[in-house]
Amino acid sequence: MLFQSIEFLIFLPIVFLLYWFVFRKLKLQNALVLVASYVFYGWWDWRFLILIAITSGFSYWSGLLIKSNEDKPQAQKWICAGNIILNLLILFAFKYLNFFSESLVALFALFGIHLDWVTLKIILPVGISFYTFQALSYTIDVYRKKIEPTRDAVAFFAFISFFPQLVAGPIERATNLLPQFLNPRKFDYATAVDGCRQMLWGFFKKVVVADNCAVYVNYVFENYQSECGSTLLLAAILFTFQIYGDFSGYSDIAIGCAKLFGVRLMRNFNVPYFSRDIAEFWRRWHISLTTWFRDYIYIPLGGSRVPKAKVVCNTFIIFLVSGFWHGADWTFVVWGAYHALLFLPLILLGKNRKNTNIVAEGRLLPSFRELFQMLLTFFLVVIGWIIFRAESIGQAWKYVCGMMQFGTLKAGYRFFLPNRLLCWPTNLFIIIMLVVEWVSRNKQHGLGMLNGKSKIINWAFYIIISMLIFWYYQDNNAFIYFQF
């Protein structure tokens, strides 16, 4: 079920009303969340509910086994490792098997050996990477004794499958989310209103900004060979906003939706395009995944407190894994490597934590230096998104080469001119998004800026944004990150 579907528009109020008015006891509420989450996911393809149930079941069971073997550290280690392997095997089978088999066939073909390999056409279950990582974090945290394993199976299954964040995150930690399913939740008016606002802003970013950008981006990326440099550059910039609007929009809707049920999810985006260097960008982009990799891979590998050669190695591992997490394609791996290359100088020079505060804190506008840093970082990120968006490495390379031919600005202008009806609102919406997020950059979300404002201003915002969402709504535009 998509957030921006009519089905969800009916589903959400029903679940909300049942949750607070009918199923008022904790256990009943958890059961309702579980059933609602399975309906939400099963609406897409009920067969893959089995996978979620297997992942949840094994993680739940592993947690209890680890606890019951408290005096046997070696056994605990094996149980934890077994659970990780099992979850990763499922992920591998459904997400990466085709990629590896095809790559192997291609590799052998280079040496003239033609394998008669039948590629299995496996459907990628939506959100498999997200809930698998959430389940892994529970087992690892139980093993590390950061959290007590729960015996409440319903609460645990609800924690893994909680519908607002099931298919595209934020990837929650058991330490944050599971206790919320084990303790009674209270309805809080201010939180619920803030949740609605956050959802509204998320829908704006997805429906109005991202989906409008997508029209151009798809056209240009499909016809990149016949387009001029400036058009390619403009399309790459539009994709940069598309993916942000799409993914951060989803996160805002998910976090806002969870607030309606008295659940607080972690923040996933914190104005990443206002970053002054790549390290800051990665602290602000897809925070739940970045911190997951940091806590469960980077730090166990030694992090940055190891010899420099090892730091280089660790950095590459983390970025390559991050790239590979996004999908079974070499473009994602190269995208990860590209960011590793940008990140390395900062970490080697010890400047990766230089910009930890929000830009222009306490000021309305950034300084020229900050503005330059932001623009440079933004440009580097744009290049990365071209690799990410391209169908192949070859296409990405040709696209970047084509983009560097700056002598054709006039032609680019001509491309956009006939489509001005679409183009000017798209540009305007991007500007509105940037301005609102700049003003709210120290708030939890874009419409956080409405806190304390007069009712008339607030309502005017709600109505205008709602109208725009309605106006630009298209039923069939799925979120980009569902495929990961």
| Crossing angle between the packed helical segments 26-45 and 153-161, to the nearest 10 degrees | 40
Closest CA to 250 of 174, 193, 326, 198: 198
Q: Residues near 471 by Cβ (< 8 Å), separated by ≥ 6? A: none
In the list 425, 427, 442, 478, the residue contacting another protein (rule: CB under 8 A) is 425
Q: Which is nearer to another protein, 364 or 417 (CB)?
A: 417
Tokens found for residue 390: 């391209």
Indicate whether 471 belongs to the interface with another protein (CB under 8 A).
Answer: yes
The stretches of 123-266 forming alpha helices (DSSP H) are 128-143, 153-161, 174-182, 189-203, 211-222, 229-260
**Cα(210)–Cα(426) distance, rounded to whole angstroms?**
9
Indicate whether 53 belongs to the interface with another protein (CB under 8 A).
Answer: no
Q: Which stretch in 136-144, 174-182, 263-271, 414-422 sits in contact with another protein by CB under 8 A?
A: 414-422
In the list 110, 113, 349, 421, the residue contacting another protein (rule: CB under 8 A) is 421
Indicate whether 418 belongs to the interface with another protein (CB under 8 A).
Answer: yes
> CB burial class (10 A; 0-12, 13-18, 19+) of residue 218?
middle
Q: Which is nearer to another protein, 122 or 463 (CB)?
A: 463
Please, what is the minimum distance in Å from the beta carbon of residue 223 to another protein? 11
Indicate whether 100 belongs to the interface with another protein (CB under 8 A).
Answer: no
Indicate whether 379 belongs to the interface with another protein (CB under 8 A).
Answer: no
Tokens found for residue 205: 């970013």
Indicate whether 424 belongs to the interface with another protein (CB under 8 A).
Answer: no
- Is position 286 annotated as part of the catalytic site? no
Q: Which is nearer to another protein, 130 or 461 (CB)?
A: 461
Q: Which is nearer to another protein, 101 or 458 (CB)?
A: 458
Indicate whether 452 belongs to the interface with another protein (CB under 8 A).
Answer: no
How many of the other CB atoms lie within 10 Å of CB of 357? 9
**Cα(119)–Cα(108) distance, rounded to whole angstroms?**
15
Angle, vertex CA 433, rays to CA 374 and CA 367, nearest 5? 30
Closest CA to 171 of 206, 194, 191, 141: 141
* φ, ψ (nearest 5 deg) of residue 289: -80, -45
Please, what is the minimum distance in Å from the beta carbon of residue 420 to another protein? 9
In the list 61, 296, 378, 462, the residue contacting another protein (rule: CB under 8 A) is 462
Residue in 114, 286, 326, 339 annotated catalytic: 326
Indicate whether 28 belongs to the interface with another protein (CB under 8 A).
Answer: no
- CA distance readout (Å), 406 to 228, 230, 241: 8, 6, 22
Q: Which is nearer to another protein, 50 or 463 (CB)?
A: 463
- Only one residue has tokens 């791996």, namely 333
Q: Which stretch in 31-39, 351-359, 361-369, 418-426 sits in contact with another protein by CB under 8 A?
A: 418-426
Tokens found for residue 166: 């099931």
Please, what is the minimum distance in Å from the beta carbon of residue 192 to another protein? 5
Largest Cα–Cα separation, the chain: 73
**Cα(256)–Cα(461) distance, rounded to whole angstroms?**
17
223 in Cβ contact with 130 (< 8 Å): no
Site string for another protein, 325-354 (x = CB under 8 A): ------------------------------
Per-residue DSSP letter, 325: H
In the list 187, 406, 413, 424, the residue contacting another protein (rule: CB under 8 A) is 187
In the list 18, 49, 182, 192, the residue contacting another protein (rule: CB under 8 A) is 192
Number of chain positions touching another protein (CB under 8 A): 22
Helix/strand/coil for 392: coil
Tokens found for residue 299: 């730090």
Indicate whether 463 belongs to the interface with another protein (CB under 8 A).
Answer: yes
In the list 109, 376, 422, 439, the residue contacting another protein (rule: CB under 8 A) is 422
Q: Which stretch in 59-67, 92-100, 115-123, 466-474 sits in contact with another protein by CB under 8 A?
A: 466-474
Please, what is the minimum distance in Å from the beta carbon of residue 187 to another protein? 5
Q: Which is nearer to another protein, 241 or 388 (CB)?
A: 241
**Cα(434)–Cα(416) distance, rounded to whole angstroms?**
21
Site string for another protein, 201-220 (x = CB under 8 A): --------------x-----
In the list 131, 261, 335, 472, the residue contacting another protein (rule: CB under 8 A) is 472
Please, what is the minimum distance in Å from the beta carbon of residue 2 to another protein? 17
275 in Cβ contact with 377 (< 8 Å): yes
How many of the other CB atoms lie within 10 Å of CB of 308? 10
Q: Which is nearer to another protein, 3 or 472 (CB)?
A: 472
How far, rounded to the nearest angstrom, does the alpha carbon of residue 469 sit from its chain's CA centroid? 21
Q: Which is nearer to another protein, 13 or 300 (CB)?
A: 13
Tokens found for residue 34: 């579980």
Q: Which is nearer to another protein, 276 or 445 (CB)?
A: 445
- By annotation, the residues acting in catalysis are 326
Q: Which residues bind another protein (CB under 8 A)?
A: 20, 187, 189, 192-193, 196, 215, 418-419, 421-422, 425, 459, 462-463, 466-467, 470-474
